[in-house]
Structure 1
Amino acid sequence: MATKENEQIITENNCETKMGLPYVLEAFTSIFNTGSISNKCCGELVVLGKVSHLALVKRTLENPLFKDLNQTTIIAKSIQTWNNCLALIDSPSPSA
């Protein structure tokens, strides 16, 4: 993985400041462990943007604490989470 490229993307897009910490932790748990992601968090994730989302996931995988994780699986889960959130945000909400 291109560490410098991820860092450059994260810096140039202010990725670390676009989402509040509670949402970052919720998305992280959904991707790196198991868990669901709330509609509000999905909204925050979509605002963050796909490029920032993937760069942050890839940077996390570069951390030695996560060296034992299957990177392909984590990347796939992050894309699945992104796609699910995008579909949720794009779909019209039922009118009350």
Structure 2
Amino acid sequence: MANSTLLFALAATVLALAAFSAQAHKPHKHHKQPPSSPAGAALPPEPYPGFYADAERCLSKLTEECGPEIFRGIFRDHDAISNKCCVELVALGRRCHRKILKATLTLPEVPKREKKEILRRDAKVWSQCVLVSDDLKHGHHLSPSL
């Protein structure tokens, strides 16, 4: 479980990761309960009061399908993001997306040496998803994923 939590540590905080892994097989589309941190996990101090609550609100807007998929696309460079999840990411908004990413990067499980590479991949994913979203809005047909 710890390894899968680390694999799912974007678009997400420890709070989000616990929700994704615990509720991955439930039939509802969005998270009904706020995520909770795994036993024994300590979150770093908030950059400002309410930061984690804001990140949770942002995470609650992602479906259980797309949250982990977006995360893998950013944190594991070779994983593709479907057009559907790209549209969901862009609809989430850059501000919410950056908040989730910032919360994730503050986790001690994310090595400092990898943060620069993660930020590079994040910028690439965001740009590609904006293009996909714009193309789909204008009726262009695309392959199913990036």
The TM-score with structure 2 as length reference comes to 0.55
Task: Report the counterpart of residue 65 of structure 2 in structure 1.
Answer: 22
Higher relative contact order (Cα pairs below 8 Å, separated by 6+ residues): 1
Task: Report the counterpart of residue 48 of structure 1 in structure 2.
Answer: 92
- The one-letter amino acid paired with 1:37 is I
Task: Report the counterpart of residue 124 of structure 2 in structure 1.
Answer: 80
CA deviation profile, 1:16-51 (whole Å, cap 9, x unmatched)? 111112201001101101211000000110111111
CA distance in 2, matches of 1:32, 1:71: 10
- Runs of 4+ in structure 1 deviating by more than 6 angstroms, as ranges, are none
- Is contact 2:105-2:115 (8 Å) kept? yes
CA distance in 2, matches of 1:43, 1:3: 29
CA distance in 2, matches of 1:42, 1:10: 24
RMSD between aligned alpha carbons?
Answer: 2.6
CA distance in 1, matches of 2:54, 2:112: 27
Structure 1 pair 12/26, CA: closer, same or farther in 2 (3 Å)? closer
Query: Aligned residues, how many?
Result: 94
Moved more, 86-95 or 7-16: 7-16
SS at the partner of 1:70? Answer: helix
Name whichever structure is richer in helix by fraction: 1
- The one-letter amino acid paired with 2:72 is T
Shift of 1:88: 0.7
Give the percent of matched residue pairs that are identical in Structure 1 and Structure 2: 28
Of structures 1 and 2, the larger Rg is shown by 2
CA distance in 1, matches of 2:55, 2:111: 26
Please list every run of 5 or more consecutive structure 2 residues that lacks an aligned counterpart in the other structure: 1-44, 142-146
